[in-house]
């Protein structure tokens, strides 16, 4: 049986990890990402799903491992936020890029959208890693968090596993398409990066907008 072709781009860099550790790599990386550690959990999940589609792993094993790891990881994050509080997170959070500004931004999302953000956060980089911690800091009731967290995990894992598995089953066609349009994709990415840099520079030059001071009303004699 011929060996399957190598995976493209950043996915190929994960080949040694998946070849050696398999399902444990999926579970371990997704687990630690979900309580704040900046590791590529989503990328590993996608790569493992492509592997499964190409016949190197079992797709149901990948999905089950990722689902368990995602739910458990977020619950560890919840416990850190609930029992450690702001003091613990602000003291050690910087080591995993959970700065006070980032925490405040995510807390504002929680205050605005409530428990529904626990589901949506799965699909948003940054929110996914801080999701459980912020829910704990906000003292969301644990049974409620558990339900919404599990629902988000099922949707997240299901979406990426299905997409990765389908890609793996048609890996030859995908490879040929990538090679054919690789130049256009790189050009589009370069244009996007330049646009983001220009926007950032312009924003810094303008500075924060100031609200004009309200003049005191004149009192009639």
Q: Where are the domains of the chain?
A: 9-169
Q: Determine if residue 203 is left, alpha or beta; phi over 0 gives left, psi from -120 to 50 gives alpha, anything else beta.
A: alpha
* Calpha distance 141→131 (Å, rounded): 14
Write down the H helix ranges in the chain: 9-13, 15-21, 23-33, 41-53, 59-79, 85-92, 100-113, 116-120, 127-137, 142-169, 171-206
pTM: 0.70
* Calpha distance 181→184 (Å, rounded): 5
* Calpha distance 94→168 (Å, rounded): 37
Would you give per-residue pLDDT tens digits along the chain (221 residues)?
455 556 666 667 777 888 888 899 999 999 999 887 888 889 889 888 988 887 788 999 999 999 999 999 999 999 988 888 777 777 766 666 667 777 777 777 777 777 788 888 888 887 788 888 888 888 888 999 999 999 999 999 999 999 888 887 776 565 556 556 566 666 776 777 777 777 766 766 665 544 445 555 555 54
């Amino acid at each position: 049986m011929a060996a399957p072709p190598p995976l493209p781009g950043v996915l190929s860099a994960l080949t040694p990890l998946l070849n050696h550790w398999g399902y444990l790599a999926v579970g371990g990386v997704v687990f630690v990402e979900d309580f704040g550690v900046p590791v590529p959990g989503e990328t590993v999940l996608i790569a493992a799903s492509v592997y499964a589609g190409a016949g190197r792993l079992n797709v149901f094993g990948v999905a089950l491992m990722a689902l368990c790891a995602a739910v458990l990881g977020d619950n560890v994050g919840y416990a850190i936020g609930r029992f450690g509080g702001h003091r613990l997170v602000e003291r050690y959070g910087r080591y995993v890029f959970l700065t006070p500004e980032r925490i405040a931004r995510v807390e504002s999302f929680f205050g605005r959208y409530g428990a529904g953000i626990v589901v949506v956060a799965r699909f948003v980089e940054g929110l996914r890693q801080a999701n459980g911690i912020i829910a704990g800091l906000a003292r969301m009731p644990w049974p409620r968090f558990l339900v919404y967290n599990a629902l988000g995990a099922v949707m997240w894992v299901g979406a990426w596993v299905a997409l990765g598995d389908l890609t793996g089953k048609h890996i030859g066609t995908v490879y040929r398409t990538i090679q054919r349009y690789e130049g256009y994709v790189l050009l589009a990415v370069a244009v996007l990066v330049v646009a983001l840099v220009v926007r950032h520079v312009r924003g810094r030059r303008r500075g924060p907008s100031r609200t004009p001071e309200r003049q005191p009303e004149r009192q009639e004699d």
